[in-house]
A and B are shown apart, each in its own frame.
Chain A
Amino acid sequence: MNFLSRLFRSPPIAPREPLPADPPAPPAPARGFWALAAYAPLGDWFEPGSQRTLDVRKIIHDARLPGPLPGLIYLGLRRSRRSRRQRAALARELIAAFSTSLASGESPREIAERFREQEARGHFLPRSKRRPRLDLDLPAPAAEWIERLLARARLQPALASQAAGELAEHFVARLAAGESAADLIEQFGAAERAARLLRSTRLMTAVLLPAPLRNLLDAVLVRARLWQSERADIARELTDHFDDGLAAGRSPEQLVVDFGDPRQAARLIRRAKLRSRPLAWRLLRHSLQGLSAVTGAVLLLYVLLFVRYVTGRPTISHNYLADFNREPQAVPPDDRAWPLYREALLMLPTAGRPNALSFGTSDAANESRPSLAAYLDEHRETLALIRQAASKPRFGFIYGDPANRDFLMKFASGADAHGESPDRYDRWLIECVLPQHQEIRFLGELLYADARRASEAGNGSKYADDVLALIGMAEHNEDAAPFLVVKLISSAIYRMALHVTATVAAERPELCSDEQWKRLAHAIAAYAEGGTLRWRLDGDRDVLDDFLQRTFTDDGEGGGRLTPEGFRRLYRDFNAAGPVQGRLALAWRTWGVELGLAGPLMSAEMANRKELMDLADRLWDEAEADYARPMWQWQESSAEKTMRALASSPLERTRYWPVLDLLPGTASYMVPLVAELTTQRRDATLTAIALELYHRRHNAWPATLDELAPSLLPAVPLDRFTGRPLCYRIIDGRPLVYSCGVDGDDDGGRPPKAGNEVASRWGPEAKLDADTIASAWAAAQDGDWILWPSVEKEWAE
Chain B
Amino acid sequence: MRVERELMRGAGPAAVLKLLEPGAKYGYELIEALADRSAGVLAMGQSTLYPLLYNLEAQGLVRAEWRQSDAGRQRKYYALTAKGKRRLADDARQWQALVQALAGLGILNQPSPVSLKGAPA
Contact = CB atoms under 8 A, between A and B. Distances in A.
Interface of A: 233-234, 236-238, 240-241, 243-245, 258-262, 264-265, 268-269, 271-273, 275-276
B45 A258 contact: yes
B75 to A, nearest CB: 6
A236 B59 CA distance: 22
Contact of A276 (B47, B52, B58, B74): B58
Contacts of A245: 28
Contacts of B55: 268, 271-272, 275
Contact of A268 (B27, B47, B73): B47
Contacts of B74: 240
A238 B50 contact: yes
Contact of B51 (A236, A244, A258, A265): A265
Contacts, number: 65
Nearest to A247: B71
B48 A260 contact: yes
Contacts of B28: 240-241, 244-245
A286 to B, nearest CB: 16
Q: Determine the interface band of chain B, counting residues with CB < 8 A from chain A.
A: 20 to 34
A271 to B, nearest CB: 7
Interface string B50-66: 11101101110000000
Interface in B69-117: 73-76
Contact of A237 (B27, B47, B48, B58): B27
Nearest to A271: B51
Contacts of B46: 238, 241, 258-260, 265
A205 to B, nearest CB: 10
B47 A262 contact: yes
B47 A240 contact: no
Contacts of A243: 73
A225 B98 CA distance: 39
Nearest to A258: B45
Q: Which of A264, A268, A271 gathers most chain B CB within 10 Å? A: A268
Given A264-B48, A271-B55, 9 more contacts: A245-B28, A259-B47, A260-B46, A264-B47, A268-B47, A268-B51, A272-B54, A273-B54, A275-B55
A268 B48 contact: yes
A259 B73 contact: no
Nearest to A240: B75
Contacts of A268: 47-48, 51-52, 55
A240 B67 CA distance: 12
A238 B28 CA distance: 9
Contacts of B73: 240, 243
Contacts of A275: 54-55, 58-59
B48 A269 contact: no
Nearest to A243: B73
A265 B54 CA distance: 11
A276 B58 CA distance: 5
A265 B46 CA distance: 8
B58 A272 contact: yes
A474 B33 CA distance: 110
Nearest to B56: A272
Contacts of B51: 265, 268-269, 271-272
Nearest to B28: A244
Nearest to B76: A237
B47 A265 contact: yes
B57 A261 contact: no
Contacts of A236: 76
B54 A259 contact: no
A259 B76 contact: no
B76 A276 contact: no
Nearest to B53: A272
